[in-house]
A and B are shown apart, each in its own frame.
Chain A
Amino acid sequence: MMGQLPMKDAYEGGFENPVFDSQNTFRAIMKAMAEPGLIVFCKKMTMPPNPLLPLTAAAFLTLCDEDVSFYLANESINEAAKNWIKFQTGARLASSLSEAGFIFVDSGRSLLNLEVLAHGTDECPDRSATLIVQTNGFQTGDEFILEGPGIKTRRSLFIEGLPEGFLKAWTKNVQRFPCGVDILFVSSDGFAGLPRSTRIVKKQNIKRNANVCCG
């Protein structure tokens, strides 16, 4: 199992088998987005520099290339991570949040102002941003009860480290449907999707084991 090294060269730590590793990662991400709130495990196939988790890096490698732009939302983000994504994917660094196609957010700290992001237009709602949000895990934290396409009745999702106002910000995002942004939550060993079609019907602080799926 590959771990995370503190400061690494931008040239190393990408997929060993780009074709199959990205296919594998994509299927996990697709499952996560198609069944919101389901935790889909994925094996670690990258060694990115801090603070990127291996699965965050895998998501960038799978979805980004010279056709898209990205942005790193945290001020604390270091040059190494920025250079690694740039070199490994060829994606452009967006000049502002509102222009970015893919936005990296560490531990959900600055995840409140969804309104400034690209959320598409009524005619082209697909011209919108995707947030790749790192969390400390899906085992503890706030419990969110989800409803919507991809969920049979209701599904509960635990996310650690989301800011207080997230529920309000997400409710606004859902109201904009079909416009809006989509979120891919990433932990050390899995993905969970929160597309704009998913409503959070309740937030509570009960601690319980979350739903888990091997994807």
Chain B
Amino acid sequence: MNDEVGDGEVLASYNFAYLDEQTKRMIRRAILKAIAIPGYQVPFASREMPMPYGWGTGGVQVTAAIIGPEDTLKVIDQGADDTTNAVSIRAFFAKTARVKTTMQTGKATLIQTRHRIPEEALTNDQILVYQVPIPEPLRFLEPRETETRKMHGLEEYGLMHVKLYEDIAKNGHIATTYAYPVKVAGRYVMDPSPTPKFDNPKMNQCEALQLFGAGREKRIYAVPPYTNVVSLDFEDHPFEVTKFEEPCALCGSEGAYLDEVILDDKGHKMFVCSDTDYCEKQQRKKMQNLGEEAKQRAFS
């Protein structure tokens, strides 16, 4: 089927949003199962995409299966709209689906993300699609799929607690800082993809539907809106989010996730927001406030 587009151009060789309709139906069925069993990894027949594994082939397939002409797409890579992965995936859908794209979190209906959750709270009308490299939280503890499947089936997650305990025994605290395991709706232990643990609380009772796609590992999983997502911890070592000592060097906001930026070879560095859209908004706000203050001073 050709995707006839408004300006008379026809993308002759590709269907709308690249994937063929049978593939979309297969992915859509997997998504519905994933939503019905929150946190459970549904196997799906992942296709080869025109990008290497590890570059978001799972997320791209999920996005391609749900995106429509009415959608406005935002793509972020570690919070930023302007890094390679984000730019190329955004361009991919702009070309194959002719959808509107945006860099503003609030204007997007569909957000595909690599390893971050936007700072701005998501709404019920939005869908967040995660790119996932290793969907199985137990994989590094138990390499056999037959065994991890059994462990999930029996809700046998003791091994994960042992791992967290070993963290404490070695380091005095839980040293896992990203891909921090969570329990979804009181049943399945799930890998939130390598998002920093800073973002874990945002997944809990999130208003948006969260979908996870792992292309190489051929798994799709989901967290419906308003679902309990609890980070695993111990009574005497409760889960704690990463705290930063200084505010963002560009926008001055506290309480956002910061990236370390090396400035020179003499050890100088700065910390800036990883969410570029959020940072720009805060900078604009700061400038407006400065302007207002200057105006008030001038007239007082």
Contact = CB atoms under 8 A, between A and B. Distances in A.
- To the question of whether A and B form a pair in one complex, the answer is yes
A137 to B, nearest CB: 23
A195 B154 contact: no
B136 to A, nearest CB: 13
B69 interface: yes
Interface stretch (B20-28, B256-264, B273-281): B20-28
Contact of A20 (B38, B40, B69, B188): B69
B120 to A, nearest CB: 20
A65 B205 CA distance: 35
B226 A151 contact: yes
A75 interface: no
A39 interface: no
Nearest to B69: A20
Interface residues of A, number: 39
A151 B153 CA distance: 25
B226 A152 contact: yes
Interface residues of B, number: 46
A205 to B, nearest CB: 27
Contact of A196 (B22, B34, B36, B225): B36
Interface centre among B15, B40, B150 (most CB of A within 10 A): B40
A51 interface: no
A30 interface: yes
A67 B45 CA distance: 12
B209 interface: yes
Interface in A126-157: 126, 128, 130, 148-152
Nearest to A130: B32
Given A34-B225, A62-B25, A26 B40 contact: no
A161 interface: no
A31 B211 CA distance: 12
Contacts of B227: 149-150
A196 B31 CA distance: 14
Contacts of A6: none
7 contacts: A26-B28, A34-B222, A64-B25, A67-B26, A128-B33, A149-B185, A196-B37
Given A20-B68, A34-B224, A151-B226, 17 more contacts: A27-B66, A29-B32, A30-B209, A62-B25, A63-B29, A67-B26, A123-B152, A125-B37, A126-B30, A126-B43, A149-B184, A178-B188, A182-B32, A182-B33, A195-B35, A196-B36, A197-B224
Interface of A: 18-20, 22-24, 26-27, 29-31, 33-35, 62-65, 67-68, 121-126, 128, 130, 148-152, 177-178, 182, 195-197
